[in-house]
Amino acid sequence: MIKVGETIYLELKEEEGETKRLRSKILDIEDGRLFIDFPVDEVNSKPRYFLEGTQFRAIFLGANHVVYLFETEVLGKAERKVPMLVIKDPGQEQYIKIQRREYVRVDSNVDCAVYSPDNRFEPFTTVTSDLSGGGMALVLPSSHELSPDDHLKTWIALGYQSGETHFIAVKAKFIRAYKEQERDIGSFQFLEIDESDRQKIVRFCFEQQLELKRREKLS
């Protein structure tokens, strides 16, 4: 399922409460262990070094664009042709699969800018009504000129609890419009999106879910 050469993302909860996201590559797999490049910080691209026992959440993309999550920890270092970090592979039975139809959809107010690749409508800025790894709903201008199956390009600004912001470019298809609390809402399906960007959206949605659960406990 997980293969040598694949990119793997590691999420680390730091002492300050911030979640750091790092990127690495699988170099070898052996006896419940994953040998990976030393991870680099996605924000500044600097390599990070971790002590044995450091715990992560790992994310990788499997066959048919299925995203998998699992919990792991640092087992040590290895010196082969290149220095490697060794992390635990808990086994396929511990992988959590997130299929496209299972993408978590969360209510959100994320800033975005919308353009028409073929100039069918005037560009506009707006916010999302909800968001998932497979699509989104946008608040539409009352004078919008969108028609079903129109294609568009949108820039989405994702703000994480760590304080970092990622700007993601996505091509999408307009599905339909509907009314919600006297607002025009448009439903969109993602057509072209880099899988690393999709994982950023999935991460954002998980953070929103966790924050919602935290607030529910406090209320």
Query: Among all chains, which residue has been given the structure tokens 């699509």?
Result: 135
Q: How confident is the model at residue 219 (pLDDT cuts 50, 70, 90)?
A: low
Q: How confident is the model at residue 217 (pLDDT cuts 50, 70, 90)?
A: low
In this prediction the pTM is: 0.58
Farthest-apart Cα atoms in the chain, separation: 63
Q: How confident is the model at residue 4 (pLDDT cuts 50, 70, 90)?
A: very high
Q: What is the pLDDT of residues 44-77, one digit of tens each?
A: 778 888 999 999 989 887 766 677 889 999 999 9
- Residue 123 main-chain phi, psi, to 5 deg: -60, 150
Pairing of strands 106-107, 124-131: antiparallel
Q: From CA 177, how far away is CA 197, in angstroms rounded?
A: 25
Please report the domains of the chain, with CATH numbers, ordered by start residue.
7-99 (2.30.110.10), 106-218 (2.40.10.220)
Q: What is the pLDDT of residues 148-193, one digit of tens each?
A: 899 999 999 999 877 888 999 999 999 999 998 889 999 999 998 8
Higher pLDDT, 212 or 28: 28
DSSP 64: G
Q: From CA 28, how far away is CA 71, in angstroms rounded?
A: 18
Q: Which of 39, 46, 51 is nearest to 76 (CA)?
A: 51
Res 15 pLDDT > 70: no
Q: How confident is the model at residue 96 (pLDDT cuts 50, 70, 90)?
A: confident
Q: What is the pLDDT of residue 211?
A: 76
Residue 192 in tokens: 């072209």
